[in-house]
A = this chain, B = another copy of it.
Amino acid sequence: MIIKTIREKNPLIHHITNYVTVNDCANVTIAMGASAAMADFYEEQADFAKISSALVLNTGTINQSIANSMLKAIREYALINKPIILDPVALGVSRARDEINFNLLDLQGIKIIKANASEMASVIGLDGKARGVDSTFVINDDFLIQAQKYATKTKRILAITGKIDYIISAEKIAKIYNGSAMAAKITGAGCMCASMCGVFSGVLEDKFQASLYALLSFDIASEIAQESSSGSGSFRVNLLDALSNLSDTDIEKRAKYEII
């Protein structure tokens, strides 16, 4: 009954995110029954850490000033042991971007990394062949082995979005087969998945479970949305409708995944 719990507890999910998809991230968060605060001002990170249930960081339109706010926020959240989700958008595309992201990753406190395959490859030290925000990297066995090593070493959950989604922890790997190809036809699907990880982390202690339910929920809402969509505009609208109507029963009925 996780979605029901979210809608009852209404956790506040704090984001420091890009200005491209920030509105979608806020709307997805609210549609799930959580509250959204999008605050990147350095001076108020300690205050938001106190009142929020989780922090979502997204480096889509990163610069040095925003990076400083993120570094400060990570320290504040880590101090009081509240969960942090990082979405290292377009990691591998530029040296400046890599430097900022790895500075964030060097800190304690990040519990979930949500990324596409290219970005995640860069996170774990492989060549991600990044081209902007889209992934061209194909997940293979070696990748999974390296990813699980990284998860073990850092005690982090890796949530990898793509045609098949992967959730990787030190102990297990989940493969999710739900989803819609239309999600790749709008900007921000990945960012919204990170917000979903934030929302579920706000009520679930087990971050593997939180990531699994976050992506299952997003993927199943995407499937529902696709059924009545006639293009990327209506898909985006229907996705928010589907998320705002999503129930635990939908997840139970439609979830297609395995733990390997």
Contact = CB atoms under 8 A, between A and B. Distances in A.
A121 interface: no
Nearest to A131: B51
A245 B241 CA distance: 22
Interface string A200-240: 00000000000000000000000000000011111011111
Interface stretch (A41-49, A78-86, A160-168, A251-259): A41-49
A152 interface: no
Contact of A30 (B19, B60, B90, B185): B185
A94 B35 CA distance: 17
Interface stretch (A20-28, A105-113, A137-145, A170-178): A20-28
Nearest to A22: B20
A232 B240 contact: yes
Contacts of A146: none
**Of A24, A30, A62, most B-chain CB atoms within 10 Å:** A30
A47 B95 contact: yes
A96 B26 contact: no
Contacts of A51: 93, 131-132
Interface in A2-19: 12, 14, 18-19
Chain A: interface size category: 35 or more
Taking the full assembly, how many copies of this chain does it contain? 3
A31 to B, nearest CB: 5
Nearest to A40: B61
Nearest to A245: B231
Interface in A67-99: 90, 93-97
Contacts of A48: 93-94, 132
Interface string A177-193: 00000000111100000
A126 interface: no
Given A47-B97, A231-B241, 14 more contacts: A19-B22, A20-B26, A21-B23, A27-B232, A40-B63, A43-B94, A43-B96, A47-B93, A48-B93, A233-B237, A233-B238, A233-B240, A233-B241, A233-B242
26 contacts: A12-B132, A19-B19, A20-B22, A20-B26, A23-B188, A26-B188, A30-B185, A30-B232, A31-B233, A35-B133, A35-B134, A36-B132, A41-B94, A44-B95, A44-B96, A47-B94, A48-B93, A51-B131, A51-B132, A230-B241, A232-B240, A233-B238, A233-B242, A234-B241, A236-B237, A237-B237
